A and B are shown apart, each in its own frame.
Chain A
């Protein structure tokens, strides 16, 4: 009996040590963000002199070139619509694919699945050209549309899988009672689908927030740059101030980490939902 307990303590202890090792880089980042550069020059793990300061966070937030306050607002202005709209459209499409029969349905669906593999690079140049012709380069709408279109395939696939697990009996009954399909969707299917929708929202929001490539090619005015774009600009053209860069990185990560923390269950279910049928 005792041996078992010891074994468990060692096992758990090792697990916690592993967690600690895993989190060390984050600790380092935090240290770089809150301590002055001189202290860091010879290793942030040296704790002899410890002058904590939030200067870097303030500096990153109010940076003279690429302030993160502006960047965060821009990223939100993109991420919120680019989450809500595709989730709405794709949920309806997912429902459609799960409930209806129509010619070419299978081919279209396979096409959609194939799109899940696509790299963004495959559409980059033509998308630039299309958005340019629409006059939406460097315009929030342009980026929102592209993110929406990019999100629809995976969310359709995801929601369709979910809807296939829902028994149709309730819907059939409502239909017999004379309800229109649209009504059935909004009053019956959608409420039940809430958990799946929350998953889709968490994942899509995180993906849009974290996007760098699409923003890189479609947005360039300094005041409109998204938060992700501002990070490499803080490093590199003239300065690499690790303190500033770390603080900026932390501020950028905070949003998706918060989403993950509050919606963890749905987030994880979302990732798994890809596979389970």
Chain B
């Protein structure tokens, strides 16, 4: 009796392990943070890969914060939840270099927009880059501008004059809408000012911690922002999709947003965008991915990496709208009209990483939180900058 039972038990365990090892060996698991509509835009890329190579791909959603919690334990057990993982934390990837596969044989650096391939440690390329989203500047309705005789400013003074004029337009609550997700896009606005007036190098120095938030140069730039806040050119921070609707209705004129906004309005062709005059850098947030060395299908994963970073994968993504390619081989024609304008903007400027995404940790929520404070209490600038320095790692 006992013998029979043990035999059955052993057989079933064997069966289960066989099935789990071989039954799903062919399938790649891709992990990404997108869901809903964004996920719908991504799936065609994976499907095209399957069509081309015959390798099945499964997609799972995990946010960066969850990955940071889960991966260390998995990696130390030499396991990984995904064969290819999308995550925004490039610094994290550098810190965990030992667990990630080298993609330099698979991805050709020369093909990419300068500055977009990052996370290199000792010649090892830890992260591949897919398409991304840009935060170009202030979006406006072309018809609104036409109706009220407004023009795109070419200098700072013209910008301020523009804001004054907009304030006079009847029905306007405030010239610039301030969206408040969990704190961004306030952070995007702040970064745009820093880049425009301090140059691209300032963004990089701040990320690296080479310059303090309380330094004169940073303070001076923030004072420009504070000036606009005090003159009530910005609205109070409000839930960012509610305010999007109000912006469309004409209660606000300008909205600082990322390029994904083109997918969210009724009339994308009416949209125009301009950066602050003199801006030479733009926050470009490419979606980065890595391949952990513990992947059981590492060769297939590398193939997928090549596909995603390569012209083919990026073209599909770019054509779905709201995404800008990092691969220089993607022709401008594949973009939907309004995205073409955005892609043009990216030419000739340096692409920069998003500050709070890159620094992460305790700094990011503190950054958002302090900006929310600055927006309603602009005179507290000194305190805000002090806290930011405190919270830098």
Q: Do chains A and B touch in the complex (CB under 8 A)?
A: yes
Residues of chain B lying within 8 A (CB to CB) of residue A221: 60, 62, 66
Residues of chain A lying within 8 A (CB to CB) of residue B60: 221-222
Structural contact, B181 and A222, CB atoms closer than 8 A: no
Residues of chain B lying within 8 A (CB to CB) of residue A239: 241
Structural contact, B241 and A241, CB atoms closer than 8 A: yes
Most A C-beta atoms less than 10 A away, residue of B35, B37, B240: B35
Structural contact, B61 and A237, CB atoms closer than 8 A: no
Indicate whether B69 reaches chain A with its CB closer than 8 angstroms.
yes
| Contacts A/B (CB < 8 Å), 26 sampled | A37-B242, A37-B245, A41-B242, A64-B39, A65-B35, A65-B36, A65-B61, A138-B70, A221-B60, A221-B62, A221-B66, A222-B35, A222-B60, A222-B61, A222-B62, A236-B181, A237-B181, A237-B182, A238-B241, A239-B241, A240-B239, A240-B240, A240-B241, A240-B242, A241-B241, A242-B242
> B173 CB to closest chain A CB, in angstroms?
13
Kindly supply a per-residue 1/0 record for chain A positions 112-139, scoring 1 wherever the CB is within 8 Å of any chain B CB and 0 otherwise: 0000000000000000000010000110
Contacts A138-B70, A220-B66, A221-B62 given: A64-B181 contact, CB under 8 Å? no
> A41 CB to closest chain B CB, in angstroms?
8
> B363 CB to closest chain A CB, in angstroms?
19
Structural contact, A64 and B35, CB atoms closer than 8 A: yes
Structural contact, B62 and A220, CB atoms closer than 8 A: yes
> B76 CB to closest chain A CB, in angstroms?
10
Docked pose: A65 CA to B36 CA in angstroms: 6
Residue from A220, A236, A238 in contact with B70 in the complex, judged by beta carbons closer than 8 Å: A220
Residue from A132, A237, A241, A242 in contact with B73 in the complex, judged by beta carbons closer than 8 Å: A132
A-B contact count (CB 8 A): 39
Docked pose: A238 CA to B260 CA in angstroms: 11
Residues of chain A lying within 8 A (CB to CB) of residue B182: 236-237
In the complex, residue of chain B having the shortest beta-carbon distance to the beta carbon of A225: B66
Docked pose: A37 CA to B249 CA in angstroms: 14
Residues of chain B lying within 8 A (CB to CB) of residue A237: 181-182
Residues of chain A lying within 8 A (CB to CB) of residue B39: 64
By a beta-carbon cutoff of 8 Å, the part of chain A in contact with chain B is 37, 41, 64-65, 132, 137-138, 220-222, 236-242
Q: Which 3 A-B pairs have the closest CB atoms?
A: A220-B66, A240-B239, A64-B36
Docked pose: A215 CA to B69 CA in angstroms: 14
> A174 CB to closest chain B CB, in angstroms?
39
Residues of chain B lying within 8 A (CB to CB) of residue A37: 242, 245
Structural contact, A137 and B241, CB atoms closer than 8 A: no
Residues of chain A lying within 8 A (CB to CB) of residue B181: 236-238
Residues of chain B lying within 8 A (CB to CB) of residue A65: 35-36, 61
Docked pose: A241 CA to B36 CA in angstroms: 15
> A61 CB to closest chain B CB, in angstroms?
15
Residues of chain B lying within 8 A (CB to CB) of residue A137: 70, 73
By a beta-carbon cutoff of 8 Å, the part of chain B in contact with chain A is 35-37, 39, 60-62, 66, 69-70, 73, 181-182, 239-242, 245
In the complex, residue of chain A having the shortest beta-carbon distance to the beta carbon of B81: A221
Most A C-beta atoms less than 10 A away, residue of B69, B240, B245: B69
Docked pose: A132 CA to B239 CA in angstroms: 36
> A37 CB to closest chain B CB, in angstroms?
8
Residues of chain B lying within 8 A (CB to CB) of residue A236: 181-182
> B275 CB to closest chain A CB, in angstroms?
23
In the complex, residue of chain A having the shortest beta-carbon distance to the beta carbon of B182: A236
Residues of chain A lying within 8 A (CB to CB) of residue B69: 220
Known: A222-B62, A238-B181, A238-B240. 16 other contacts (CB 8 A): A37-B242, A41-B242, A64-B35, A64-B39, A65-B35, A220-B62, A220-B69, A220-B70, A221-B60, A221-B62, A237-B181, A238-B241, A239-B241, A240-B239, A240-B241, A241-B241
> B319 CB to closest chain A CB, in angstroms?
22
> B370 CB to closest chain A CB, in angstroms?
18
Docked pose: A7 CA to B66 CA in angstroms: 61
Residues of chain A lying within 8 A (CB to CB) of residue B36: 64-65
In the complex, residue of chain B having the shortest beta-carbon distance to the beta carbon of A66: B35
Docked pose: A237 CA to B183 CA in angstroms: 10
> B110 CB to closest chain A CB, in angstroms?
35
In the complex, residue of chain B having the shortest beta-carbon distance to the beta carbon of A222: B61
Docked pose: A62 CA to B245 CA in angstroms: 24
Residues of chain B lying within 8 A (CB to CB) of residue A240: 239-242
> A99 CB to closest chain B CB, in angstroms?
40
In the complex, residue of chain B having the shortest beta-carbon distance to the beta carbon of A138: B70
Docked pose: A41 CA to B242 CA in angstroms: 9
Residues of chain A lying within 8 A (CB to CB) of residue B66: 220-221
> A67 CB to closest chain B CB, in angstroms?
11
> A234 CB to closest chain B CB, in angstroms?
11
> A30 CB to closest chain B CB, in angstroms?
20
Residues of chain A lying within 8 A (CB to CB) of residue B245: 37
In the complex, residue of chain B having the shortest beta-carbon distance to the beta carbon of A63: B36
In the complex, residue of chain A having the shortest beta-carbon distance to the beta carbon of B67: A220
Residues of chain B lying within 8 A (CB to CB) of residue A220: 62, 66, 69-70
Docked pose: A239 CA to B260 CA in angstroms: 13
Docked pose: A220 CA to B65 CA in angstroms: 9
In the complex, residue of chain A having the shortest beta-carbon distance to the beta carbon of B264: A238
Docked pose: A137 CA to B61 CA in angstroms: 17
Docked pose: A137 CA to B242 CA in angstroms: 37
Docked pose: A236 CA to B241 CA in angstroms: 10
Residues of chain A lying within 8 A (CB to CB) of residue B73: 132, 137
Docked pose: A170 CA to B242 CA in angstroms: 67
Residues of chain B lying within 8 A (CB to CB) of residue A64: 35-37, 39
> B87 CB to closest chain A CB, in angstroms?
14
In the complex, residue of chain A having the shortest beta-carbon distance to the beta carbon of B77: A135
> A164 CB to closest chain B CB, in angstroms?
44
Docked pose: A241 CA to B242 CA in angstroms: 8
Residues of chain A lying within 8 A (CB to CB) of residue B241: 238-241
Docked pose: A130 CA to B343 CA in angstroms: 49
In the complex, residue of chain A having the shortest beta-carbon distance to the beta carbon of B35: A65
Docked pose: A65 CA to B73 CA in angstroms: 25
Residues of chain A lying within 8 A (CB to CB) of residue B239: 240
